[in-house]
């Protein structure tokens, strides 16, 4: 009996302490001291919110650098029991989860590579990211798109290539992760350079 | 390659640097020497009311009752979340089987995600429901380890301590301060923390994008620290809001193994022989390094089926994120499956066949490579008992551990736990295949389909929580069976090890003689590792041959499914 009482009392007390007081206190600290991060690291152009610095978005036009293939989906508005492809749906994260021997995956990798050109392409451009929201490309993945973007914008390739190179971020603290380019930041810089 | 190994090496060093002092601190917490929160501790334990010393049975029944209360509370919250506050998305209550599965999952420290965080759960459910159990299931596991260490060290004692006191101290002095520190760091590095559900933005191309938000940082901090692993978002720590940078990734990986690794040192202190703790640390460390090397090689080699189209220089990038790159994805996959964490920063379903095999095997060995908080250590101690028994058989002496005779009762109980993984994985898996529910849930055809099923049941029984996520687990059959597997995998270890501790506590340690087999030297560490590998291999090699190994051979010969 005394064990039952302890079990119930401690369940309630710790729900109040760790399930409410703790997350709400952290929320308070975040909203007061670190509001930019706490609210999703939003990026503005002028007045308009154009995205989050951390979340990739869908770029389909030739005049923009395009992020990695994304496997996210959304509910089909025509038939709510079905899902349709909706790349970079930041309300429903997912990877492809296709296995290494998957015919579907092999076909998708082949089709993506052929759409980009001859021979092997940068791996990040032909494989789906884990989250479907990967905001980054490898430097090689961005450089591979320079010719297309330069043509669409009517700019010399050298200028666009220099822009990409300026946007390359090194490893964090010089050691962790790998060099990468934030696609949204790159495209914002691109719009500023060559509207 | 060099930069990759530098990151892995830095991780190993930082882990060691963190685990040693933390282990020392935890030992002081559980012996009652750390008292800076004594007033709060007194209020909480006073309200609870039961502060008597407990034998192993009372200790175990307290734990079971506490977990049952936690289950009921969480089950109710999930089932009725539509009637509860802080539900900005207006989500419905969960189905009964999803609510049962999720409640078992969080109470057993598994954190298997049959649910998709941002599309199923209200903020209230995430905070008051899941975050609470992230703390309490971890604290329960830590209490078990402490009671077991006391039992092993005791001399003619009847008691193992008081569950409520140990669990409360674990929460107040270790988990809560750690989680607060980590949550604030995570916030500063970009993780959101808000009660709003989402924000809509207009993308550069003019499309609308809805960014799911919520109280993320607070939950992720304890999810890692308590080897829980249940994500705020569907893709867990691959989601840029749940793991924004390589630095949050590094801190998360440290948090996953910090307490489990520290427990080896805590144990050494509590049994008054730090060498015993160090030997366990080394055995676990060697297994971890071997797993990392094998998976790194497999992922670096990449997928030969894609070699003509994907530049092999980057390795296998399907289901991985650019900001982490190959090495941090592999290091995470190894640590999360070695510990019973189960959070992921890459999609394990898309690992190469041999990479996936390592992840699966890590879980199937019983998650004793540091393992879950507390229970990783006790799982390893079960193997220690098996090992000293085997060593005793080899030389024809009664096996001893820490000067105490290991007799029939202890060996029987330890051997019983060797059946937990095979029952949960092989028997339940076979049942799923026989009833056809496996076939309708797997996403991929061919041997990979079997891998998806085996991974799911390994993950549940091992209380891991990671998945080959192509597998559709959210059905009445799998939610129920995986729920049973989680219970079996949690209490099927905890109760026997507490019983062993109770029985060892009553014994009198004998002084070491020239004939005593030392359990802290390289010979013992080697024997221990071999025992673990032989038991694991004998049990699971056949099914691994049909799954990942068959797939590996298929891929080498260019066969797709």
- Which of B234, B240, B447 has the CB atom closest to A54's CB atom? B240
Confidence band (pLDDT; 50, 70, 90) for B136? very high
Residue A181, H or E segment: strand A180-182
* Residue ranges with strand state E in A24-139: 42-45, 48-52, 73-76, 79-85, 136-137
Q: Which residue has the higher pLDDT, B395 or B81?
A: B81
Cα of first residue to Cα of last residue in chain B, in angstroms, is 32
Which residue, B119, B25, B124, B116, is CA-closest to B84?
B124
- Asked whether the beta carbons of residue B118 and residue A91 sit closer than 8 angstroms, the reply is yes
**Residue B217, pLDDT above cutoff 80:** yes
In chain A, residues with a C-beta closer than 8 Å to the C-beta of B319 are: 95-97, 127-130
Letter string b/e over residues A82-103, b meaning 16 or more CB atoms within 10 A of that residue's CB: eeeebbbbbbbbbbbbbbbbbe
The mean per-residue pLDDT over the stretch A146-156 comes to 96
- pLDDT tens digits for range B250-299: 999 999 999 999 999 999 999 999 999 999 999 999 999 999 999 999 99
B298 in a structural domain? no
B368 in a structural domain? no
- Asked whether the beta carbons of residue B217 and residue A122 sit closer than 8 angstroms, the reply is no
B425 in a structural domain? no
The mean per-residue pLDDT over the stretch B535-553 comes to 94
CB pairs under 8 A between A and B: 392
The mean per-residue pLDDT over the stretch B204-228 comes to 94
B447 in a structural domain? no
pLDDT at B112: 85
- Asked whether the beta carbons of residue B250 and residue A105 sit closer than 8 angstroms, the reply is no
**Residue B61, pLDDT above cutoff 80:** yes
pLDDT at B396: 86
pLDDT at B338: 93
pLDDT at A178: 94
Tell me the H-state helices in B207-273.
216-225, 246-270
Query: How many Å lie between the alpha carbon of B560 and the closest alpha carbon of chain A?
Result: 5
The whole-chain average pLDDT of chain B stands at 94
pLDDT at B242: 96
Sheet bearing A180-182, strands edge to edge: A136-137, A180-182, A168-169
Domain count along chain B = 1
The mean per-residue pLDDT over the stretch B526-548 comes to 94
**Residue B120, pLDDT above cutoff 90:** no
Contacting residues for A118 by C-beta, under 8 A, at least 6 apart: none
The mean per-residue pLDDT over the stretch A99-120 comes to 95
Whole-angstrom distance, CA of residue B216 vs CA of residue B237 = 11
**Residue B117, pLDDT above cutoff 80:** no
B36: containing domain: 26-266
Confidence band (pLDDT; 50, 70, 90) for B111? confident
pLDDT at B291: 97
B177 in a structural domain? yes
Is A175's Cβ below 8 Å from some Cβ in B? Answer: yes
Output the CA–CA distances (angstroms, integers) from residue B275 to B270, B271, B312, B521, in the order listed: 11, 10, 45, 8
Mutate to test the interface with A, among B7, B323, B454 (most CBs of A within 10 A): B323
The mean per-residue pLDDT over the stretch B217-230 comes to 93
**Residue B115, pLDDT above cutoff 80:** no
Which residue, B539, B526, B538, is CA-closest to B390?
B526
Confidence band (pLDDT; 50, 70, 90) for B77? very high
- Asked whether the beta carbons of residue B180 and residue A22 sit closer than 8 angstroms, the reply is yes
Whether A2 contacts B162, CB under 8 Å: no
pLDDT at B207: 93
B346 in a structural domain? no
pLDDT at B511: 87
**Residue A77, pLDDT above cutoff 90:** no
Q: How many other CB atoms are there within 10 angstroms of residue A192's CB atom?
A: 10
B58 in a structural domain? yes
The whole-chain average pLDDT of chain A stands at 95
Contacting residues for A54 by C-beta, under 8 A, at least 6 apart: A40, A41, A135, B190, B240, B241, B244
- Asked whether the beta carbons of residue B193 and residue A38 sit closer than 8 angstroms, the reply is yes
The mean per-residue pLDDT over the stretch B169-174 comes to 97
For the CA atoms of B182, B185, B187, B191, the dihedral, rounded to the nearest 10 degrees, stands at: -70
Confidence band (pLDDT; 50, 70, 90) for B348? very high
Which residue, B217, B223, B172, is CA-closest to B191?
B217
Which residue, B352, B247, B300, is CA-closest to B1?
B300
pLDDT at B383: 96
Confidence band (pLDDT; 50, 70, 90) for A58? very high
State the pTM of this model: 0.96
- Asked whether the beta carbons of residue A180 and residue B322 sit closer than 8 angstroms, the reply is yes
In chain A, residues with a C-beta closer than 8 Å to the C-beta of B71 are: none
% of chain B at pLDDT higher than 90: 86
**Residue B155, pLDDT above cutoff 80:** yes
- pLDDT tens digits for range B431-480: 999 998 989 999 888 999 999 999 999 999 999 989 998 899 889 999 99
B75 in a structural domain? yes
**Residue B118, pLDDT above cutoff 80:** no
Q: Tokens at residue A6, please? A: 């302890």
pLDDT at A190: 96
Interface predicted TM-score of the whole assembly (ipTM), two decimals: 0.96
- Asked whether the beta carbons of residue A134 and residue B322 sit closer than 8 angstroms, the reply is yes
- pLDDT tens digits for range B413-436: 999 999 999 999 999 999 999 998
- pLDDT tens digits for range B334-344: 999 999 888 99
pLDDT at B84: 92
- Asked whether the beta carbons of residue A96 and residue B179 sit closer than 8 angstroms, the reply is no
**Residue A134, pLDDT above cutoff 90:** yes
- Asked whether the beta carbons of residue B184 and residue A96 sit closer than 8 angstroms, the reply is no
pLDDT at A14: 97
CB < 8 Å from B in window 94-153 of A: 94-103, 105-106, 109-110, 112-114, 119-124, 126-138, 140-141
Mutate to test the interface with A, among B123, B240, B246, B336 (most CBs of A within 10 A): B240
- pLDDT tens digits for range B22-51: 999 999 999 999 999 999 999 999 999 988
- Asked whether the beta carbons of residue A92 and residue B222 sit closer than 8 angstroms, the reply is no
Which residue, B158, B171, B170, is CA-closest to B54?
B158
């Amino acid at each position: 009996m005394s064990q039952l009482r302890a079990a119930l009392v401690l369940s309630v007390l710790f729900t109040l302490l760790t399930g409410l007081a703790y997350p709400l206190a952290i929320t308070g600290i975040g909203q007061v001291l670190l509001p930019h991060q706490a609210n999703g690291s939003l990026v503005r152009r002028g007045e308009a919110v154009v995205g989050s610095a951390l979340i990739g978005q869908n770029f389909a036009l030739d005049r923009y650098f395009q992020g990695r293939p994304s496997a996210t989906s959304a509910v089909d508005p025509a038939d709510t029991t079905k899902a349709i492809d909706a790349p970079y749906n930041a309300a429903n994260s997912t990877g492809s989860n296709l296995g290494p021997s998957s015919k579907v995956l092999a076909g998708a990798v082949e089709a993506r590579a052929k759409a980009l050109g001859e021979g092997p392409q940068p791996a990040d451009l032909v494989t789906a990211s884990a989250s479907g929201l990967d905001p980054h490309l490898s430097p090689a993945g961005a450089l591979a798109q320079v010719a297309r973007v330069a043509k669409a914008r009517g700019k010399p390739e050298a200028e666009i290539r220099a822009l990409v190179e300026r946007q390359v971020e090194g490893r964090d603290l010089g050691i962790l992760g790998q060099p990468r380019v934030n696609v949204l930041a790159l495209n914002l810089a691109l719009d500023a350079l060559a509207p | 390659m060099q930069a990759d190994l530098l990151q892995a090496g830095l991780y190993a060093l930082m882990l060691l640097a963190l685990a040693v002092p933390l282990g020392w601190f935890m030992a002081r917490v559980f012996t009652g020497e750390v008292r800076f929160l004594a007033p709060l501790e007194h209020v909480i334990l006073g309200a609870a009311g039961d502060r008597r010393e407990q034998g192993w049975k009372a200790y175990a029944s307290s734990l079971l009752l506490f977990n049952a209360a936690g289950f009921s509370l969480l089950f109710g919250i999930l089932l009725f979340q539509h009637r509860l506050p802080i539900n900005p998305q207006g989500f419905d209550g969960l189905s009964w089987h999803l609510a049962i599965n999720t409640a078992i999952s969080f109470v057993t420290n598994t954190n298997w995600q049959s649910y998709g965080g941002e599309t199923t759960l209200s903020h209230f459910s995430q905070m008051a429901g899941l975050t609470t159990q992230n703390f309490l299931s971890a604290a329960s596991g830590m209490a078990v380890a402490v009671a077991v260490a006391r039992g092993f060290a005791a001399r003619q004692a009847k008691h193992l301590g008081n569950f409520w006191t140990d669990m409360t101290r674990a929460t107040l002095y270790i988990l809560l301060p750690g989680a607060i520190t980590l949550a604030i760091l995570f916030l500063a590095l970009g993780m959101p923390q808000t009660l709003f559900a989402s924000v809509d933005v207009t993308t550069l191309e003019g499309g609308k994008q809805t960014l799911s938000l919520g109280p993320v940082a607070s939950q992720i901090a304890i999810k890692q620290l308590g080897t829980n692993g249940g994500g705020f978002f569907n893709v867990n720590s691959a989601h840029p809001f749940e793991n924004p940078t390589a630095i949050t990734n590094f801190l998360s990986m440290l948090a996953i193994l910090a307490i489990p690794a520290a427990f080896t040192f805590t144990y050494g202190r509590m049994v008054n022989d730090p060498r015993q703790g160090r030997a366990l640390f080394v055995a676990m460390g060697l297994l971890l390094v071997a797993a990392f090397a094998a998976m790194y090689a497999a992922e670096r080699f990449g997928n030969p089926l894609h070699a003509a189209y994907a530049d092999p220089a980057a390795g296998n990038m399907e289901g991985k994120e650019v900001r982490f790159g190959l090495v941090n994805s592999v290091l995470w996959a190894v640590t999360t499956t070695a510990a019973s964490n189960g959070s992921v920063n890459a999609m394990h379903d898309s690992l190469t066949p041999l990479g996936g095999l390592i992840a699966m095997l890590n879980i199937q060995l019983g998650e004793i490579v540091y393992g879950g908080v507390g229970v990783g250590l006790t799982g390893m101690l079960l193997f220690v008992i098996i090992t000293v028994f085997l060593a005793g058989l080899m030389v024809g002496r009664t096996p001893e551990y820490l000067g105490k005779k290991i007799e029939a009762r202890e060996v029987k109980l330890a051997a019983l736990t060797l059946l937990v993984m095979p029952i949960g994985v092989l028997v339940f898996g076979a049942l799923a295949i026989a009833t056809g529910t496996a076939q309708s849930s797997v996403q991929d055809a061919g041997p990979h389909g079997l891998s998806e099923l085996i991974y799911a049941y390994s993950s549940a029984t091992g209380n891991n929580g990671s998945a080959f996520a192509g597998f559709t687990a959210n059905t009445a059959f799998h939610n129920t069976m995986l729920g049973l597997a989680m219970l079996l995998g949690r209490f099927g270890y905890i109760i026997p090890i507490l019983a062993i501790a109770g029985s060892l506590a009553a014994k009198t340690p004998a002084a070491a003689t020239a004939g005593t087999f030392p359990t802290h030297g390289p010979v013992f560490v080697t024997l221990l590792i071999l025992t673990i590998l032989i038991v694991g291999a004998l049990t699971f090699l056949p099914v691994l041959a049909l799954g990942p190994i068959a797939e590996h051979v298929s891929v080498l010969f260019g066969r797709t499914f």
